[in-house]
A and B are shown apart, each in its own frame.
Chain A
Amino acid sequence: MNQIVEKVLFSEKVAKFVVEAPRIARSRKPGHFVILRVDEKGERIPLTIAGADPVKGTIVLVVQKVGVSSAKLFELNVGDSILDLVGPLGKATEIHHVGTVLACGGGVGVAPMLPIVEGFKKAGNRVISVLAARNKDLIILEDEVRQWSDEVIIMTDDGSYGTKGVVTVGAESVIQREPINECIAIGPAVMMKFTSLLTKKYNIPTQASLNAIMVDGTGMCGACRVSVGGNTYFTCVDGPEFDAHQIDFDELIMRLGGYSSEEKIAWERYQ
């Protein structure tokens, strides 16, 4: 159960895992996530599914080492199994024919964005993808995104690859050049906040996929609550995607730090 059949290192801290999960592989749709627990002592952590092969019965997860739990997962190898894996969770992305879609992915956010890009392309849209990261090594899944995009723009903070600058610089250049009907933003909360501010200026409907703190992932705990349009929603059952222009990103960023002091202690103990 949940055996890792392939592991590809994207960088020192980012890896792709192909995991045996036949039922999830068959039922998942773009936008869905899973909750997993590496071992008996582990946390339950959410990860958005980056792809699936229903025939082989596998799903793709992309993991970035940021804390104890992601580090434990990162260290697993082909042949190892993830103790607990449940899903697919959350609401699937609403994919339809809208015209031109601008997909903005930051860092490992490109992984969950990939199936969405694929979905929009297959639905007959023109898709322009902007991939952004701190440097060249952290740009992931470029070829895969390219396969489902009419155009791919690469942005790096240090200019080591593509154009130097943040995601919004690349996005704005596209918006100023041609009409965009819908925008998708997935990545770090700050990146989504600024992407959202940009598209709001141009009145482009935008969906952002949130990476809130979760425990159960089924609506039970409320750790993942987020303010959207002044109302509180649960990211796990109401999301993970919401109308970006209505999201209170500052609150989201604040809430993502809700256990930072506990996490720091755990990290020190782990090392």
Chain B
Amino acid sequence: MSTNKEYLQNEREKEWRVELRKKIANKERTAKERVRMNEMDPFERIKYQNREVNLGLTAEQAQAEAARCLDCPNPTCMEGCPVSINIPKFVKYIEAGQFLDAAKALKETSALPAVCGRVCPQEKQCESTCFYTQKMKKDPVAIGYLERFAADYERESGFMSIPEVAPSNGIKIAAIGSGPASLSFAGDMIKLGYDVTVFEALHEIGGVLKYGIPEFRLPNKIVDVELNNLKKMGVKFVNNFIVGKTVSFDDLKAEGFEAFFVASGAGLPRFMGIPGENYNGILSSNEYLTRVNLMNAASDEFDTPVIRGKNVAVIGGGNTAMDSVRTAKRLGAERAMIIYRRSRAEMPARVEEVHHAEEEGIEFINLANPIEYFADEKGKVNRMRVQRMGLGEPDASGRRRPIVLEGSDFDIPVDLVIVAVGVSPNPLIPSALSDLKVSKWGTIEVGEETMQSSIPQLFAGGDIVRGGATVILAMGDGRKAAENMHEYLQSKHQ
């Protein structure tokens, strides 16, 4: 886990890196244009729910892009990475054509490189702190594309490396939930020699990676490969198991579990509480995406139904809203709309997702907020009333606060509405532990650096702590929790 300066310096001074730096002059490197991701044609891709939009880079493209990286003595890009990937190391391996070594470097600190390379908001993380962005006002090195390239190359090569695992120390620990926070935690703990079991409430392992993120952005088989790696490393997965319900924490302690990492997610969708919101045809993005992604509702062979709307409105401007609206388009919507109360500049979604949505013909009705829904005689939604918004002074989030423009209401015909305005923490775990300290929002309170809760042997991370964030922040929490739980357990066992 060492990411300290000395270690990075030593790695950077290795002969191959020094030689590689000398091969091309920095001036030449910085003169190159950033690579463009190969994408499936928008008109073609909207016909398929499960075909990936981004096609990945070719080896030539990846090497050329990797050559843009200056292998900085002080790699500021790493400061933007919640799981501290040794970015220059893996990028330079790509430049050198040693793609399998690049993948290995990624796996030193990330349990899910093929996932992160696809879904991380790199423009807000590593790429935002890249030398090109910060000092040269140029397009950053496409670190995310390169990460994906290395992980994909390794998977397709058939030579998947399994990270080294320390000899078993016999200490049993549990992770609750099987999303990105838990998987990252489990990866680190198994490497340290712990006996790790991951408990999942649903029938599928993977959490939001399976039920939430659509296959056109993250194919399930990619997630399965990463899960298999963890299995090969020795992580045990138990599905259909709700800690606190199926068995109590005390039962698990009696079975020998010494510490717990709770990453049960933000499993409670928020609604707006406006009139008519419980009409049929109005559902949460969680429900819509779960039906399509987890339950395969779009396929006739599967029993779970999904409503196919012609005029679909998705409320919200985050990644989940983009995933929902683009799914609706693929399921045959003639009009697939985003209704967002602020402007495009304030949208929390990844830039790439918004861009892809626009290419696919998604309509953006920004600065608009629903205030009421109307339905036919059977209770099925058929119209929504929307209010125009303006932008006022910045609020606590730093974004300009939306303000109501009175008398600006207008109606939009709709037959499916997907509400994607955020989630609240899942109450199942907090309600099972009376002495667990939770915030007024229902999130588990933990030490910011330790991820340790008010119950010493219980650590937590991801959305159950953050209340709704990204895959990579959850993974960062998992790593931090692993490091601190390790310390806690080692001192206990001395």
A87-B245 contact, Cβ under 8 Å, with A221-B286, A222-B269, A223-B287: yes
Pick from A9-17, A36-44, A136-144 the stretch touching chain B: A36-44
The smallest C-beta distance from A23 to any residue of chain B, in angstroms, reads: 5
Q: Which residue of A has the minimal Cβ distance to B284? A: A222
Q: Hey, which chain A residues are within 8 Å of B239, CB to CB?
A: 84
The smallest C-beta distance from A200 to any residue of chain B, in angstroms, reads: 22
Q: Hey, which chain A residues are within 8 Å of B240, CB to CB?
A: 84-86
Question: Are B246 and A24 interface neighbours, CB within 8 A?
Answer: yes
Which residues of B, 273-312, contact A by the 8 Å Cβ criterion?
Answer: 273, 277-281, 283-284, 286-287, 290-291, 295-296, 300-307
Main secondary structure of the interface of A (DSSP, over half): mixed
Question: Are B305 and A225 interface neighbours, CB within 8 A?
Answer: no
Question: Are A44 and B287 interface neighbours, CB within 8 A?
Answer: no
**Complex alpha-carbon distance, A262 and B265, angstroms:** 30
Name the interface size band of chain B: 35 or more
The smallest C-beta distance from B75 to any residue of chain A, in angstroms, reads: 39
Interface size (A, Cβ < 8 Å)? 41
A234 interface hit (Cβ, 8 Å)? yes
Question: Are B428 and A221 interface neighbours, CB within 8 A?
Answer: no
Q: Hey, which chain B residues are within 8 Å of A237, CB to CB?
A: 268, 427-428
Q: Hey, which chain B residues are within 8 Å of A262, CB to CB?
A: 305-307
A88-B245 contact, Cβ under 8 Å, with A220-B290, A221-B287, A257-B379: yes
The smallest C-beta distance from B111 to any residue of chain A, in angstroms, reads: 23
Q: Hey, which chain B residues are within 8 Å of A123, CB to CB?
A: none
The smallest C-beta distance from A182 to any residue of chain B, in angstroms, reads: 25
Question: Are A222 and B271 interface neighbours, CB within 8 A?
Answer: yes
Question: Are B278 and A219 interface neighbours, CB within 8 A?
Answer: no
The smallest C-beta distance from B65 to any residue of chain A, in angstroms, reads: 38
A27-B246 contact, Cβ under 8 Å, with A216-B290, A222-B286, A234-B268: yes
Question: Are B303 and A266 interface neighbours, CB within 8 A?
Answer: yes
B203 interface hit (Cβ, 8 Å)? yes
Which residues of A, 59-113, contact B by the 8 Å Cβ criterion?
Answer: 68-69, 72, 83-89
Which residues of B, 369-428, contact A by the 8 Å Cβ criterion?
Answer: 378-379, 426-428
Question: Are B304 and A43 interface neighbours, CB within 8 A?
Answer: yes
Question: Are B267 and A223 interface neighbours, CB within 8 A?
Answer: no
Which residues of B, 448-469, contact A by the 8 Å Cβ criterion?
Answer: none
Q: Hey, which chain B residues are within 8 Å of A219, CB to CB?
A: 267-268, 426-428
Q: Hey, which chain A residues are within 8 Å of B287, CB to CB?
A: 215, 221-223
Question: Are A255 and B271 interface neighbours, CB within 8 A?
Answer: no
Q: Name the residue among A86, A218, A222, A262 with the largest chain B CB count within 10 angstroms.
A: A222
Q: Hey, which chain B residues are within 8 Å of A83, CB to CB?
A: 203
B242 interface hit (Cβ, 8 Å)? yes
Q: Hey, which chain B residues are within 8 Å of A269, CB to CB?
A: 300
Q: Which residue of B has the minimal Cβ distance to A23? A: B246
Question: Are B242 and A89 interface neighbours, CB within 8 A?
Answer: yes
Question: Are A86 and B242 interface neighbours, CB within 8 A?
Answer: yes
A-B contact pairs, 11 of them (CB 8 A): A23-B246, A44-B203, A84-B240, A86-B203, A216-B267, A218-B202, A218-B242, A218-B426, A221-B283, A222-B269, A222-B286
Report A's interface with B, CB cutoff 8 A.
23-24, 27, 37, 41-44, 68-69, 72, 83-89, 215-216, 218-223, 225, 227, 232, 234, 237, 251, 254-255, 257-259, 262-263, 266, 269
Give me 8 other A-B pairs in contact (C-beta within 8 A), A43-B295, A218-B428, A223-B287 excluded.
Answer: A41-B302, A86-B241, A218-B242, A221-B283, A225-B271, A237-B428, A255-B278, A258-B281
Q: Give the 9 A-B residue pairs with the shortest CB-CB distance, closest first.
A: A262-B305, A254-B379, A221-B287, A258-B280, A220-B267, A86-B240, A84-B203, A222-B284, A43-B303
